[in-house]
Amino acid sequence: MNQPRPHALFLYFTILILAASCADTDQNNRLTTKEREQGWTLLFDGRSADGWHLYNKKNTTAGWIARDGTLAVDTVNKTEVNDLVSDKVFKNFELQFEWKLSKNGNSGVFINVLERPDLTTAWASGPEYQLLDPAHADNANPVKRAGTLFALDAQKNPAVAKPAGEWNQSRIKQTEGKIEFYLNGILTVQQDLTAPAWQDSVGRTHFKNFPEFGKHTSGHIALQDWASGVAFRNIKIKEL
């Protein structure tokens, strides 16, 4: 019986590996039939930054790039730091997304963001779901770990982010100003943005100097461009 030639075997296994890789990529940034029926929509199609723009700059996404099925900060070509903001405004919603960071990476996702010329940053109005590499020095601060409501609420239940280069799963739910954060399936934050206790908490932080911070229960969603690389995929939302 004729034996396969070595180069033929190599080609065969190479094709199998590539096919498996493509299949894995094709599973991302897609909705199942059931998800569509439930009302989920994609905020990232896996190929472009359509549906997003830079904060206070409507017609550009410069500094961000859609590459290899991810929406990521372009660490090679960017010339300035700019957060990326959803074109649409959301009020009651469930948001799911996956994220990974570079070593010692630090980023975040903001909700209820206002866009106005007098507000120069997304975080001047929008509370932040913190994204952080566990190796980062800020991980020692309970209100700055991944899955926290940055600088305000520590984790309700212990949850550990995966290290740099690995994908994490996050979920944000908001109903009439009541929010829940989840990190890798674990509930980490519950907060009521309409309660007097919330504004009391804000008043004890540096956010007290930003009069619009945390006072709104609808707005844009923003992805933070910080000092190091961050990438997102499977960003999807269901309006409630």
Q: Where are the domains of the chain?
A: 31-239
Give the pLDDT band of residue 16 (cuts 50, 70, 90).
Answer: very low
pLDDT for position 228:
73
What is the average pLDDT across 180-196? Answer: 98
Q: Would you give the DSSP letter of residue 208?
A: G
Please name the residue that has the structure tokens 């996050």.
Answer: 170
* Cβ neighbours of 71 (radius 10 Å): 27
Q: Buried b vs exposed e over 171-185: b needs ≥16 C-beta within 10 Å? A: bbbbeebebbbbbbe
Which residue would you say has higher pLDDT here, 14 or 117? Answer: 117
In this prediction, residue 87 carries a pLDDT of: 98
Judged by DSSP in three states, 192 sits in: strand
Helix (H) or strand (E) holding 27: none
How far apart (Å, rounded) are the C-alpha atoms in residues 153 and 178?
A: 14
Structure tokens at 19: 């096919």
Predicted local confidence at residue 2, as pLDDT: 52
Look at residues 218, 235, 225 and name the one whose alpha carbon lies nearest to residue 125.
218
User: What are the tens digits of pLDDT across the range 43-80?
Assistant: 999 999 999 999 999 999 999 999 999 999 998 887 77
Residue among 35, 34, 64, 33 nearest 50 (CA): 64
Kindly report, residue by residue over 70-95, the tens digit of the pLDDT. Answer: 999 998 887 778 999 999 999 999 99
State the Cα–Cα distance between residues 148 and 46, nearest whole angstrom: 27
Q: How high is the pLDDT of residue 161?
A: 98
Share of the chain above pLDDT 90, in %: 84
According to the model, what pLDDT value does residue 203 have? Answer: 97
Summary mean pLDDT of the chain: 91
d(CA 181, CA 149) in angstroms, rounded, equals: 8
Average pLDDT over residues 7-17: 49
More confident residue, 148 or 26: 148
pLDDT higher than threshold 60 for residue 160: yes
- Asked if residue 37 lies in contact with residue 198, where contact means CB atoms within 8 angstroms, the answer is no
CA pseudo-torsion sign 68, 229, 83, 63: negative
**pLDDT computed for residue 36 by the predictor:** 97
Q: Which DSSP category does 57 fall into? A: B
- Token pair 């890789």: residue: 21
- Whether the predicted pLDDT of 115 surpasses 60: yes
Pick from 8-17, 24-33, 107-116 the range whose average pLDDT is largest.
107-116
Which of 3-17, 24-38, 42-56, 158-172 has the lowest average pLDDT?
Answer: 3-17
CATH topology classification for 31-239: Jelly Rolls (2.60.120)
Whether residue 111 is predicted with pLDDT greater than 80 in this model: the reply is yes
Q: What is the pLDDT of residue 7?
A: 56
